[in-house]
Protein backbone atom coordinates (compact mmCIF):
# COMPACT_ATOMS: atom_id res chain seq x y z
CA UNK A 1 0.00 0.00 0.00
CA UNK A 2 1.23 3.49 -0.78
CA UNK A 3 -0.07 5.99 1.74
CA UNK A 4 -2.13 9.02 0.89
CA UNK A 5 -0.19 12.11 1.94
CA UNK A 6 -2.16 14.35 4.30
CA UNK A 7 -1.10 17.81 3.14
CA UNK A 8 -1.02 19.93 6.30
CA UNK A 9 0.16 23.00 4.44
CA UNK A 10 -2.86 22.99 2.14
CA UNK A 11 -5.24 22.09 4.97
CA UNK A 12 -3.86 24.89 7.16
CA UNK A 13 -4.36 27.37 4.29
CA UNK A 14 -7.99 26.21 4.07
CA UNK A 15 -8.47 26.67 7.84
CA UNK A 16 -6.93 30.17 7.69
CA UNK A 17 -9.23 31.07 4.78
CA UNK A 18 -12.23 29.86 6.83
CA UNK A 19 -11.04 31.97 9.78
CA UNK A 20 -10.56 35.01 7.51
CA UNK A 21 -14.11 34.63 6.14
CA UNK A 22 -15.60 34.44 9.62
CA UNK A 23 -13.52 37.38 10.84
CA UNK A 24 -14.79 39.50 7.93
CA UNK A 25 -18.38 38.51 8.83
CA UNK A 26 -17.81 39.30 12.50
CA UNK A 27 -16.51 42.76 11.60
CA UNK A 28 -19.31 43.50 9.18
CA UNK A 29 -22.23 42.13 11.16
CA UNK A 30 -21.11 42.78 14.74
CA UNK A 31 -18.37 45.42 14.51
CA UNK A 32 -15.94 43.09 16.31
CA UNK A 33 -12.32 42.58 15.28
CA UNK A 34 -10.72 39.63 17.13
CA UNK A 35 -7.39 40.56 18.75
CA UNK A 36 -4.47 38.33 19.68
CA UNK A 37 -1.77 39.49 22.10
CA UNK A 38 1.53 37.63 21.99
CA UNK A 39 4.03 38.15 24.81
CA UNK A 40 7.69 37.34 24.21
CA UNK A 41 10.20 37.54 27.05
CA UNK A 42 13.86 37.52 26.03
CA UNK A 43 15.65 36.99 22.73
CA UNK A 44 15.42 33.25 22.04
CA UNK A 45 15.93 33.16 18.24
CA UNK A 46 13.43 30.33 17.57
CA UNK A 47 10.79 32.08 19.70
CA UNK A 48 11.38 35.34 17.80
CA UNK A 49 10.73 33.54 14.49
CA UNK A 50 7.52 31.93 15.84
CA UNK A 51 6.23 35.22 17.24
CA UNK A 52 6.93 37.05 13.97
CA UNK A 53 5.09 34.48 11.90
CA UNK A 54 2.16 34.36 14.35
CA UNK A 55 1.85 38.17 14.13
CA UNK A 56 2.01 38.12 10.33
CA UNK A 57 -0.67 35.44 9.95
CA UNK A 58 -2.91 37.10 12.55
CA UNK A 59 -2.95 40.27 10.45
CA UNK A 60 -3.42 38.27 7.22
CA UNK A 61 -6.72 36.81 8.47
CA UNK A 62 -7.94 40.30 9.39
CA UNK A 63 -7.39 40.18 13.16
CA UNK A 64 -5.54 42.70 15.30
CA UNK A 65 -2.11 41.58 16.47
CA UNK A 66 -0.56 43.03 19.62
CA UNK A 67 3.07 42.11 20.22
CA UNK A 68 4.68 42.70 23.62
CA UNK A 69 8.43 42.17 23.63
CA UNK A 70 9.96 42.27 27.09
CA UNK A 71 13.62 41.99 27.90
CA UNK A 72 15.08 38.79 29.32
CA UNK A 73 15.46 40.30 32.83
CA UNK A 74 11.77 41.25 33.15
CA UNK A 75 10.54 40.49 36.67
CA UNK A 76 7.66 38.10 37.35
CA UNK A 77 5.76 41.01 38.90
CA UNK A 78 6.03 43.08 35.70
CA UNK A 79 5.04 40.14 33.48
CA UNK A 80 2.01 39.36 35.68
CA UNK A 81 1.03 43.04 35.60
CA UNK A 82 1.09 42.99 31.78
CA UNK A 83 -1.04 39.82 31.70
CA UNK A 84 -3.51 41.41 34.10
CA UNK A 85 -3.76 44.42 31.79
CA UNK A 86 -4.38 42.16 28.77
CA UNK A 87 -6.93 40.11 30.72
CA UNK A 88 -8.90 43.32 31.28
CA UNK A 89 -8.52 44.74 27.76
CA UNK A 90 -11.75 44.11 25.78
CA UNK A 91 -9.89 44.49 22.46
CA UNK A 92 -7.76 41.44 23.34
CA UNK A 93 -9.58 38.12 22.90
CA UNK A 94 -6.57 35.81 22.95
CA UNK A 95 -3.35 35.92 24.98
CA UNK A 96 -0.33 33.77 24.23
CA UNK A 97 2.84 33.81 26.30
CA UNK A 98 5.61 32.35 24.15
CA UNK A 99 7.37 29.45 25.88
CA UNK A 100 9.95 28.69 27.09
CA UNK A 101 10.28 31.57 29.53
CA UNK A 102 13.63 32.59 31.05
CA UNK A 103 14.52 30.39 34.04
CA UNK A 104 13.74 32.97 36.76
CA UNK A 105 10.05 33.06 35.73
CA UNK A 106 7.58 30.43 36.97
CA UNK A 107 5.87 29.14 33.81
CA UNK A 108 2.94 27.51 35.61
CA UNK A 109 2.23 30.65 37.61
CA UNK A 110 2.40 32.83 34.49
CA UNK A 111 0.19 30.56 32.34
CA UNK A 112 -2.37 30.19 35.13
CA UNK A 113 -2.60 33.97 35.49
CA UNK A 114 -4.08 34.26 31.98
CA UNK A 115 -7.88 34.56 31.88
CA UNK A 116 -8.92 30.99 30.86
CA UNK A 117 -11.37 32.46 28.33
CA UNK A 118 -8.41 34.18 26.60
CA UNK A 119 -5.99 31.27 26.98
CA UNK A 120 -5.73 30.44 23.26
CA UNK A 121 -2.87 27.99 23.89
CA UNK A 122 -5.20 25.94 26.13
CA UNK A 123 -2.52 25.41 28.79
CA UNK A 124 -4.36 26.99 31.79
CA UNK A 125 -5.29 24.36 34.39
CA UNK A 126 -8.97 25.30 34.04
CA UNK A 127 -8.88 24.49 30.33
CA UNK A 128 -6.98 21.26 31.00
CA UNK A 129 -9.70 20.27 33.50
CA UNK A 130 -12.54 21.27 31.16
CA UNK A 131 -11.04 19.23 28.31
CA UNK A 132 -10.50 16.25 30.65
CA UNK A 133 -14.15 16.34 31.71
CA UNK A 134 -15.49 16.76 28.16
CA UNK A 135 -16.62 20.35 28.66
CA UNK A 136 -16.22 23.34 26.37
CA UNK A 137 -12.64 24.60 26.70
CA UNK A 138 -9.77 26.20 24.85
CA UNK A 139 -7.94 23.29 23.22
CA UNK A 140 -4.13 23.27 22.71
CA UNK A 141 -3.38 24.18 19.09
CA UNK A 142 -1.17 21.27 17.95
CA UNK A 143 -3.51 18.46 19.08
CA UNK A 144 -6.50 20.43 17.76
CA UNK A 145 -4.78 20.58 14.37
CA UNK A 146 -4.15 16.81 14.45
CA UNK A 147 -7.80 16.15 15.34
CA UNK A 148 -9.03 18.36 12.48
CA UNK A 149 -6.84 16.47 9.99
CA UNK A 150 -8.05 13.10 11.32
CA UNK A 151 -11.70 14.14 11.15
CA UNK A 152 -11.21 15.51 7.66
CA UNK A 153 -9.64 12.24 6.51
CA UNK A 154 -11.91 9.75 8.28
CA UNK A 155 -15.15 11.54 9.03
CA UNK A 156 -16.04 9.67 12.22
CA UNK A 157 -13.24 8.32 14.43
CA UNK A 158 -15.66 6.37 16.61
CA UNK A 159 -14.41 2.95 17.74
CA UNK A 160 -10.96 3.29 16.18
CA UNK A 161 -7.88 2.12 18.09
CA UNK A 162 -5.57 5.09 18.60
CA UNK A 163 -2.07 5.15 20.04
CA UNK A 164 -0.48 8.43 21.12
CA UNK A 165 3.27 8.13 21.64
CA UNK A 166 4.27 10.82 24.15
CA UNK A 167 2.53 12.11 27.30
CA UNK A 168 3.52 15.78 27.41
CA UNK A 169 1.04 18.35 28.67
CA UNK A 170 1.15 20.29 25.41
CA UNK A 171 0.73 17.46 22.90
CA UNK A 172 0.40 13.85 24.13
CA UNK A 173 -2.13 14.21 26.97
CA UNK A 174 -4.53 16.66 25.28
CA UNK A 175 -4.29 14.63 22.05
CA UNK A 176 -5.37 11.52 23.93
CA UNK A 177 -8.28 13.43 25.54
CA UNK A 178 -9.45 14.67 22.14
CA UNK A 179 -9.33 11.19 20.60
CA UNK A 180 -11.24 9.83 23.59
CA UNK A 181 -13.77 12.64 23.09
CA UNK A 182 -14.25 11.36 19.53
CA UNK A 183 -14.83 7.83 20.91
CA UNK A 184 -11.52 6.22 19.97
CA UNK A 185 -10.07 3.49 22.19
CA UNK A 186 -6.91 5.30 23.28
CA UNK A 187 -3.54 4.06 24.47
CA UNK A 188 -0.94 6.56 25.66
CA UNK A 189 2.60 5.24 25.23
CA UNK A 190 5.77 6.78 26.68
CA UNK A 191 9.38 6.04 27.47
CA UNK A 192 8.48 3.28 29.97
CA UNK A 193 6.01 1.47 27.67
CA UNK A 194 7.02 -2.22 27.66
CA UNK A 195 6.57 -3.34 24.08
CA UNK A 196 6.11 -0.20 22.00
CA UNK A 197 6.28 -1.92 18.58
CA UNK A 198 3.47 -4.28 19.62
CA UNK A 199 1.35 -1.43 21.00
CA UNK A 200 1.80 0.62 17.82
CA UNK A 201 1.05 -2.37 15.53
CA UNK A 202 -2.47 -2.60 16.99
CA UNK A 203 -3.36 1.01 16.14
CA UNK A 204 -5.66 2.31 13.41
CA UNK A 205 -4.38 5.80 14.27
CA UNK A 206 -0.82 6.54 15.39
CA UNK A 207 0.09 9.99 16.70
CA UNK A 208 3.82 10.31 17.32
CA UNK A 209 4.87 13.17 19.62
CA UNK A 210 8.22 12.12 21.01
CA UNK A 211 11.01 14.35 19.73
CA UNK A 212 13.26 11.52 18.51
CA UNK A 213 14.21 11.56 14.83
CA UNK A 214 12.59 8.74 12.80
CA UNK A 215 12.11 6.58 15.89
CA UNK A 216 9.02 4.77 14.57
CA UNK A 217 9.96 2.45 11.69
CA UNK A 218 7.51 1.36 9.00
CA UNK A 219 7.26 -2.22 10.26
CA UNK A 220 5.58 -0.98 13.48
CA UNK A 221 2.72 0.44 11.41
CA UNK A 222 -0.40 -1.63 10.83
CA UNK A 223 -1.27 -1.97 7.14
CA UNK A 224 -3.65 0.91 6.27
CA UNK A 225 -3.25 2.85 9.55
CA UNK A 226 -3.30 6.66 9.65
CA UNK A 227 -0.05 8.18 10.89
CA UNK A 228 0.12 11.71 12.31
CA UNK A 229 3.72 12.76 12.90
CA UNK A 230 4.01 15.68 15.33
CA UNK A 231 7.79 15.47 15.76
CA UNK A 232 10.04 18.23 14.51
CA UNK A 233 13.68 17.15 14.67
CA UNK A 234 16.65 18.88 13.10
CA UNK A 235 19.28 16.44 11.86
CA UNK A 236 22.33 16.55 9.61
CA UNK A 237 22.27 14.12 6.67
CA UNK A 238 24.63 14.01 3.70
CA UNK A 239 26.21 17.23 4.98
CA UNK A 240 22.89 19.07 4.92
CA UNK A 241 20.55 20.23 7.69
CA UNK A 242 17.16 18.53 7.46
CA UNK A 243 13.87 18.49 9.35
CA UNK A 244 12.48 15.03 10.06
CA UNK A 245 9.61 13.71 12.14
CA UNK A 246 9.41 11.00 14.79
CA UNK A 247 8.35 8.49 12.13
CA UNK A 248 10.58 7.03 9.43
CA UNK A 249 8.51 8.51 6.63
CA UNK A 250 9.78 6.40 3.70
CA UNK A 251 9.14 3.01 5.30
CA UNK A 252 5.92 4.08 7.08
CA UNK A 253 4.45 5.46 3.84
CA UNK A 254 4.72 1.95 2.34
CA UNK A 255 2.35 0.50 4.96
CA UNK A 256 0.15 3.37 6.17
CA UNK A 257 -3.16 4.28 4.57
CA UNK A 258 -2.43 7.97 5.15
CA UNK A 259 0.47 9.91 6.64
CA UNK A 260 1.50 13.48 7.43
CA UNK A 261 4.92 14.56 6.12
CA UNK A 262 7.52 16.58 8.05
CA UNK A 263 7.75 19.39 7.19
CA UNK A 264 4.35 20.30 5.76
CA UNK A 265 2.14 18.16 8.01
CA UNK A 266 1.18 19.04 11.56
CA UNK A 267 3.48 22.10 11.79
CA UNK A 268 1.42 24.54 9.67
CA UNK A 269 -1.79 23.46 11.44
CA UNK A 270 -0.56 24.75 14.80
CA UNK A 271 -0.66 28.46 13.88
CA UNK A 272 -3.89 27.96 11.91
CA UNK A 273 -5.48 26.54 15.08
CA UNK A 274 -4.14 29.42 17.16
CA UNK A 275 -6.04 31.78 14.85
CA UNK A 276 -9.12 29.54 15.03
CA UNK A 277 -8.95 29.61 18.85
CA UNK A 278 -8.68 33.40 18.86
CA UNK A 279 -11.78 33.63 16.67
CA UNK A 280 -13.60 31.17 18.97
CA UNK A 281 -12.59 33.25 22.02
CA UNK A 282 -13.88 36.44 20.37
CA UNK A 283 -17.23 34.78 19.54
CA UNK A 284 -17.62 33.37 23.06
CA UNK A 285 -16.68 36.71 24.68
CA UNK A 286 -19.50 38.36 22.73
CA UNK A 287 -22.10 35.65 23.27
CA UNK A 288 -22.08 34.71 19.58
CA UNK A 289 -22.24 31.19 18.10
CA UNK A 290 -18.87 29.48 17.73
CA UNK A 291 -17.34 29.16 14.27
CA UNK A 292 -18.34 25.84 12.74
CA UNK A 293 -15.66 23.19 12.14
CA UNK A 294 -12.94 25.17 13.94
CA UNK A 295 -13.35 23.81 17.46
CA UNK A 296 -13.10 20.40 19.10
Residues labelled catalytic: 54, 98, 121
Does 57 participate in binding ligand NDP (rule CB under 6 A)? no
Question: Largest Cα–Cα distance of the chain, in whole Å?
Answer: 57
Q: Specify whether the CB–CB gap between 171 and 143 falls below 8 A.
A: yes
Binding mask 157-196 for ligand NDP (x = CB under 6 A): --------xxxx-xxx----------------xxxxx--x
* Angstrom distances, CA of residue 182 to CA of 57, 144, 156, 230: 29, 12, 8, 19
48 with 98: CB under 8 angstroms? Answer: no
Q: How far is the CB of 197 from ligand NDP (least distance, A)?
A: 10
Handedness of CA 12, 14, 18, 24 (dihedral sign): positive
Q: Are 273 and 15 within 8 A, CB to CB? A: yes
For ligand NDP, which is the closer residue by CB, 26 or 249? 249
> For residues 279 and 277, what is the distance between their CA atoms, to the nearest angstrom?
5
Tell which positions 226-265 bind ligand NDP, by CB under 6 A.
Answer: 230-233
Nearest distance in Å: CB 119, ligand NDP: 17
Q: Which of 142, 226, 260, 278 binds ligand NDP (CB under 6 A)?
A: 142
- Rounded-to-integer distance, Cα 181 and Cα 177, Å: 6
Residue 100 CB, nearest approach to ligand NDP (Å): 11
Is residue 42 near ligand NDP by the rule CB under 6 A? Answer: no
Closest distance between ligand NDP and the C-beta of residue 196, in Å?
A: 6
Near ligand NDP by CB under 6 A: residue from 32, 210, 216, 275: 210
Closer to ligand NDP at the Cβ: 134 or 197? Answer: 197
Interface residue list for ligand NDP (CB under 6 A): 142, 165-168, 170-172, 189-193, 196, 209-212, 230-233, 266-267, 270
Amino acid sequence: MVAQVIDGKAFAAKVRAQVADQVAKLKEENGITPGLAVVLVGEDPASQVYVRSKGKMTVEVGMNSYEHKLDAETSEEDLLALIDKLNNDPAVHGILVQLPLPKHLNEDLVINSIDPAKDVDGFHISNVGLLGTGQKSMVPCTPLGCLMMLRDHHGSLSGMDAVVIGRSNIVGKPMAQLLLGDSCTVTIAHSRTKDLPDVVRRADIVVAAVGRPEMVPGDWIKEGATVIDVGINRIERDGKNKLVGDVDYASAAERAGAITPVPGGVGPMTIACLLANTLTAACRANGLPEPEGLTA
